[in-house]
Amino acid sequence: MPLKKLFISSVQSEFSEERQELYEYIVSDALLGRFFQPFLFEHLPATDTKVDRKYLNEVENCDIYVGLIGSKYGYEDAEGISPTEHEFDHATLHHKTRFVFITGHVSGERHPKVNKFIAKVESSLIRKVFLNIQDLKAGIYSSLVSYLLDNEIIRTVPFDAAVCDKATLDAIDPERIKSFIRLAASKRGFPLPETAGIEEVLTHLNLFDNGKLTNAAILLFGYDPQRFFVNAEVRCASFYGVVVEKPLASYKVFKGDLFEQIRQTEEFVLSKLDYAIETRSDYTSIPGKYEIPRELIAEAIVNAIAHRDYTCNGSVQVMIFRDRIEVWNPGTLPLGWTTEKLKQIHRSIPANPLIADPMYLAGFIERLGTGTLDIFRLAKTAGLPEPAFYQDEEFRTIIYRKVATPHVTPHVTPHVTPHVHDKLTEEMETLMLLVEGEMSRAELQSLAGFKDRMYFTQKYIEPGLTEGIIEMTQPDKPKSRSQKYRLTAKAILIKSNKS
């Protein structure tokens, strides 16, 4: 299928950076990049064709017109009309799909002709307000996904934009909405008042469309999100040593909306860290600081919860060891990205834009696209070893504590951290830690946190038997329903040597 052409229109001097960032966002996004090709003024080659005519030709050839309206009206021709308004009129004349996004300026801050232009737009279509580039990206994302669905180009949608069929507005907590408005107003100048209705707020956030709630709306503002998404939770564990082994020092599972999960998880981690009391000489109260900066912990947790793959059966996991903290989240980096790219300045390509945008507005994310850089910066400032990122079946962030020395080979944790011994794979390490006495495949699979039976059998049980880590209790009946597994003498010896 040929790519759908987007014509992005605005006063050239007003949104040059935003246009370029939108272009990069669309072509880099795993979904949008498959279906859309944006056009920018800046990409127009030099020709003998009159420039304004060339732009109108591009409007005629596009599939979708995207208009950005701010406070400036721009250059006016002999008729007193700006090129931006001409382009909108031309898109209307040729029956193009039109999406218009307007800044949050009040009318007195705009050029008088901009206010008249906006009135014209509002007479023929619904326009959306945006406060910043991330807000704009979320609006573009929602509009283009709706376009793909309405035109039956796709039949399945990204998780955050998908409709939660079983949910009604009764599932949304109005107090959480009000709390969000207060926070977003203080952090980012959110334009809606606290008295705004639930539908108005969710529509503004692109979370409510045609009378339907999106999955993102439930996760962010629902009374009980786990009623709809059982694995939308964070599992936290702390260990006495540097590997996953019993007994655990502490274990908690946090549920509720995503904002609450972030708060609870952050407090859990901080409660396990050393806290240094400083002198009272320069302060009325006694100051102090955590061994790892609170901001660093928050960045890792927010990144995991905001960018995880919510279609996966796994959960976000946070594990605290004597030498490090590991944050695991189901999901992968954007297409073509590597963990090395996270150490460089990069654009924000959130896995769940409709989840990330409200988090940004509420101040949980400071500047989208800088989170991983902030993790390195904060660690360096605090005198900590350089954090590490790993991408395999899940994405892992490792923050080393001051007692730790960075490892050439990272610790390897079983679905809950990393440590390599006697050339055993991570899966074999996991089996040795999980098996106690005689256990069935179902018991081990549940304990490891996997839902796919075939995957667990092929990745853990079969290699475990081959490597001599586990053995069957009924070797003569390998397919018996009552079959169980236990550690071999070899595995018991390895465990004893490690302890």
pLDDT of residue 196: 94
Structure tokens that stand for 226 in this block = 């786990």
3-state secondary structure of 126: coil
Q: Would you mind telling me the total number of residues written for the chain in this entry? A: 499
> Is residue 11 within 8 Å of residue 70, measured between CB atoms?
yes
Would you say residue 47 has pLDDT above 50? no
3-state secondary structure of 92: helix
304/313 Cα distance (integer angstroms): 15
Among 43, 97, 89, 92, CA closest to 65? 97
Instruction: Name the pLDDT band for 334 (thresholds 50, 70, 90).
Output: low
Tens digits of per-residue pLDDT, 290-310? 899 999 999 999 999 998 989
pLDDT of residue 415: 44
Distances (CA, A) of 284 to 160, 220, 276, 288: 46, 38, 17, 12
Please tell me the class of the 4-156 domain. alpha beta
Please provide the CATH number assigned to the domain covering 234-400. 3.30.565.60
Instruction: Name the pLDDT band for 262 (thresholds 50, 70, 90).
Output: very high
pLDDT of residue 237: 93
Tens digits of per-residue pLDDT, 92-126? 999 999 999 999 888 899 999 999 999 999 988 87
What average pLDDT does the segment 80-92 reach?
Answer: 93
Domain ranges of the chain: 4-156, 160-227, 234-400, 426-498
pLDDT of residue 405: 43
Instruction: Name the pLDDT band for 286 (thresholds 50, 70, 90).
Output: low
**Most trustworthy range by pLDDT among 97-106, 331-340, 386-395:** 97-106
3-state secondary structure of 356: helix
Instruction: Name the pLDDT band for 422 (thresholds 50, 70, 90).
Output: very low
Structure tokens that stand for 34 in this block = 């498959």
Tens digits of per-residue pLDDT, 488-497? 888 887 777 6
Instruction: Name the pLDDT band for 423 (thresholds 50, 70, 90).
Output: low
pLDDT of residue 369: 56
Between 333-342, 358-367, 416-425, the lowest mean confidence (pLDDT) is in 416-425
What average pLDDT does the segment 158-183 reach?
Answer: 93
CA 396 to chain centre: 14
What average pLDDT does the segment 53-72 reach?
Answer: 92
> Is residue 300 within 8 Å of residue 270, measured between CB atoms?
no
Beta bridge partners of 209: 212
Instruction: Give the chain's mean pLDDT.
Output: 85
- Rounded to a whole number of angstroms, the CA Rg of the chain reads 27
Beta bridge partners of 486: 471
pLDDT of residue 499: 56
199/212 Cα distance (integer angstroms): 10
Instruction: Please check whether the domain covering 426-498 is classified as CATH 1.10.10.10.
Output: yes
407/399 Cα distance (integer angstroms): 12
